[in-house]
Chains A and B, each alone.
Chain A
Amino acid sequence: MSLSLDEVRHIARLARIELADGEAQSTLDKLNDIFGLIEQMQAVDTDGVEPMSHPQDVAQRLRDDVATETDQREAFQAVAPQTEAGLYLVPQVIE
């Protein structure tokens, strides 16, 4: 398969990564090389093979539904780009 420039721009939008025009072409070339490598998978018959999502095939452990964490809002917000009155500040999204 081969990606088009429009597809690369679409993927970049989905990934929320701004791609400059000059960058899009070189990204396209490298992505096509990578997909060329990935395509080797398609030659293998995997009908009837159970997908493996965890190396030990174990189920995720559940814990009791109780709060165990203490309030560390100040510590966590100390590294935030912009906060005010305990809230994270972002550009306005509702008119």
Chain B
Amino acid sequence: MIQSSLTELAAALQGRQLSSVELTTAFLDRIDALNPRLNAFITVDREGALAAARAADARIAGGDAGPLTGIPVAHKDVFCTQGVRTSCGSKMLDNFVSPYDAHVVSQLKAAGAVMLGKTNMDEFAMGSSNENTYYGPTRNAWDPARIAGGSSGGSAVAVAARMAPMATGTDTGGSVRQPAAMNGITGIKPTYGVVSRYGMIAYASSLDQGGAFGRSAQDCALLLTAMAGFDPRDSTSVERPREDYSRDLDKPLAGLRVGLPVEFFAEGMSDDVRRAIDAAIAQYRELGATVVEVSLPNARLAIPAYYVIAPAEASSNLSRFDGVRYGHRAADYGSLEEMYEKSRAEGFGAEVKRRILVGTYVLSHGYYDAYYLKAQKLRRLIAEDFRAAFAQCDVIAGPTSPTVAWPIGEKSDDPVQMYLQDIYTIAVNLAGLPGLSLPCGTGADGLPVGLQLIGNYFDEARLLQAAHGFQQATDWHQRAPELG
């Protein structure tokens, strides 16, 4: 049953071939068996999960079930969960038990989904490998000696290793798409504003967006439909009617215009990733899609612009962690100032400190125009490039990551090398567009390669349709790592 799709699980639950308690127990047991090896979960809430499963079974028996009722979910530890530790992968919040639920969490609770626990992540969602976590690195589901991808790597590994049938994540510069690619699963980051950021611990507010992980586009569509929707508590939440993101899944791909950005294919991609991406594009042609060349001339500026904007916003957002109202407080201090400085020095890891320092500098007196304002102007140029490209195509396709998952430790001491790994994903966040990664082949050592599809604003249904069409014709999404 742990290999079944969400649709199959829902049918089994509603047909009473399976109870949610049985299903939840199976996944909890799988977590117990695999987590010591993969470190995908920071917190497992067995008791809470079984109570929620019993409630879901009662709801199903009462004829009040939706498509996710009784189905287990794993939440990235960035989402606040009432009564359950929410650490954000940081020592700073190691002791934090949230007094409230994030909007995403309450939406899924209302849908009857059963929370298994909280997944490992790069501290405050800052990272591309899941090595920047207070709880030790998450390990790739296909090769535990390799990185899981970041920052939502715990969620991606949980789904890939069948420790959870679906999981939530967040994507500030590629943090849903990149770990999805590296673990051979499907992950979608919707348009900025589609998923409420209420209760999602903020990293870079103008870029952060909640997203969904599943084994297929169809599973992602179901999860995203339950997660998304207007929330008045988030002032950046967009006021649009609720959508059923599964609605177009079965539409044929004939006539779909797929844009290939020349800049993505010019250099930087490893040969094995290129082979898998080329084969995927050929598959789209076979399915009746038209392939057109597009250009994103400013995409190369996305990384420098991001590493100004995101740290600037992070330096502001993380100023709330001062040891006064929640989180870590140093044991020894004299003055108030010293309490702040020591608590933050002890509570934050090296990468978080670096980004706060970069952000503090670029926002400091005399440097704002040269850095922050300049980066915001580049952001406009990048968004305009996408606008021009979408005049010629329906979706943009390319690699999610330039390489497959690398060995743990290989890049961890070189932040710039690490930052460059997000070259294909970051521009999407700066423009606020939806993006999706789906498994499309394997590279070195049989490791998964992800194809990235980028959509126009609010075109998530089409992205999922494009991914589903591919998955109807291929079996990459059905392959699972051998974990016993």
Main secondary structure of the interface of A (DSSP, over half): loop
Is B469 located at the chain interface by the 8 A CB criterion?
Answer: no
> How many B residues have CB within 8 A of the partner chain?
75
Q: How far is the CB of A46 from chain B (nearest CB, A)?
A: 4
Residues on A with beta carbons closer than 8 Å to the beta carbon of B337: 16
Q: Given A30-B354, A34-B416 in contact, is the A41-B375 Cβ separation under 8 Å? A: yes
Among B95, B348, B371, B431, which residue has its beta carbon within 8 angstroms of that of A17?
Answer: B348
Contact assessment for A79 and B97 in the assembled complex, using a CB-CB cutoff below 8 Å: yes
Residues on B with beta carbons closer than 8 Å to the beta carbon of A93: 335-336
Contact assessment for A30 and B99 in the assembled complex, using a CB-CB cutoff below 8 Å: no
Contact assessment for B336 and A91 in the assembled complex, using a CB-CB cutoff below 8 Å: yes
Is B18 located at the chain interface by the 8 A CB criterion?
Answer: no
Residues on B with beta carbons closer than 8 Å to the beta carbon of A39: 304
Is B308 located at the chain interface by the 8 A CB criterion?
Answer: yes
Contact assessment for B301 and A44 in the assembled complex, using a CB-CB cutoff below 8 Å: yes
Q: Given A15-B315, A34-B416 in contact, is the A88-B324 Cβ separation under 8 Å? A: yes
CB-CB contacts below 8 Å: A61-95 with B: 61, 63, 72, 75-82, 88, 90-91, 93
Contact assessment for A38 and B307 in the assembled complex, using a CB-CB cutoff below 8 Å: yes
Is A22 located at the chain interface by the 8 A CB criterion?
Answer: no
Closest to A43 in B: B301
Among A12, A15, A50, A81, which residue has its beta carbon within 8 angstroms of that of B324?
Answer: A81
CA distance A27 to B353 in the complex (A): 9
Contact assessment for B348 and A81 in the assembled complex, using a CB-CB cutoff below 8 Å: no
Is B283 located at the chain interface by the 8 A CB criterion?
Answer: no
CA distance A54 to B430 in the complex (A): 9
**5 A-B pairs whose Cβ atoms sit less than 8 Å apart in the complex:** A17-B341, A17-B356, A31-B358, A40-B301, A80-B326
Chain B residues with a Cβ under 8 A of chain A: 95-100, 191-193, 206, 232, 235-236, 238-239, 298, 301, 303-305, 307-308, 315, 319, 322-329, 333-342, 344-345, 348, 353-354, 356-358, 360-362, 364, 370-371, 373-381, 383, 414-416, 419, 430-433, 457
